[in-house]
Amino acid sequence: MTPLRQRFLDDLRLRNYSPRTLECYVAQVVHFARHFGRSPEQLGPEEIRAYQLHLLEKKHASWSAFNQAVCALRFLYRVTLRAPFGVDMIPYGKKPKSLPAVLSREEVAQLLAVVPQPLERLILQTTYACGLRASEVLRLRVTDIDSSRMLVWVRQGKGGKDRGVPLSAALLAALRAHWQRRRPATWLFPGHSPSGQRSLGALQRVVRRAVLAAGFTKKVSLHTLRHSYATHLLEAGVDLITIQRLLGHRDLQTTARYIHLTAPRLAQTPGLLEGLPTVAAAPPEAEPLPAVMAPVVPEVPAPPAPPW
């Protein structure tokens, strides 16, 4: 490991960045250095700008990946290298704000039903029942299940925050049966990685296979279960502040977007056209016809059928 990379990692650890963020930031800086074949210490604003254009025009990177690279380079030049140029000139990309896909309750049940392996199905059930992120469900420990208070404790979620989410009786019974069969010691859903945790990639493949088996045409991922959890709570009458705390959102605006996804609320929106008062239309003025001409009635083609 080069001294620069070690110093970069140390600076990230000193600011308590998560292991996942450390991995992503280092990878982005490595890609940047390899693109030019030189150390970042020898590169400046012009190379950064050229690399950003390369990401967009050649790599066709998503805006999330583009902004991740920007965050990594800003930290490197601002904190680790103390660059003489202002890092504010490294612009972020404007990420389009699209609404996430959401499954109905029937679709969630259909997705779970086509997962053949009981343990994999239980992981997806836990993800949906508690509204967890993928990393959070894989980091659950046996001691995080609090049956006395009927809570699941999410330790060090996004932003390094702990939170508790309700534990349903049905999920508790399923988790108890899982423990009786597997007797996990540390991680609730152990895997074969060096840390003992289950692989995120393997779990994502489980979801992709289930989506194909269920025949869904919408874009569905593991995170869709979290979106569905929040939307279904809102439809059930749970207030936004409570949902914000259950999801671990820092900003209420992030939670408020689920308002746009609730079918009952949209169905309750009044139709404005139907509410207009009825006003008698004025009869059209007939044009006078010449005395020598008989009225000609043009043939009016049948109107096309509406597309809906």
Q: Token pair 């970042």 is at which residue?
A: 40
The single residue of 7, 133, 141, 209 carrying the catalytic annotation is 133
Angle at 180 between CA 176 and CA 183, to 5 degrees: 110
The single residue of 226, 227, 229, 232 carrying the catalytic annotation is 226
The single residue of 74, 158, 163, 257 carrying the catalytic annotation is 158
Question: Encoding tokens for residue 132?
Answer: 């967890």
Quick check: is 97 catalytic? no
Quick check: is 249 catalytic? yes
Q: Which of these, 167, 136, 138, 139, lies nearest to 151 by C-alpha position? A: 167
What sign for the dihedral angle of Cα 129, 134, 140, 144? Answer: negative
Assess contact for 28 and 35: CB atoms under 8 A.
no
Quick check: is 258 catalytic? yes
The single residue of 51, 77, 229, 258 carrying the catalytic annotation is 258
Quick check: is 7 catalytic? no
Torsion on CA atoms 196, 158, 241, 238, rounded to nearest 10: -30
Per-residue burial over 33-67, b if 16 or more Cβ lie within 10 Å, else e, is bebeeeebeebeeebbeebbeebeeeeebeeeebb
Quick check: is 161 catalytic? no
The single residue of 74, 209, 223, 257 carrying the catalytic annotation is 223
Name the residues annotated as catalytic. Answer: 133, 158, 223, 226, 249, 258
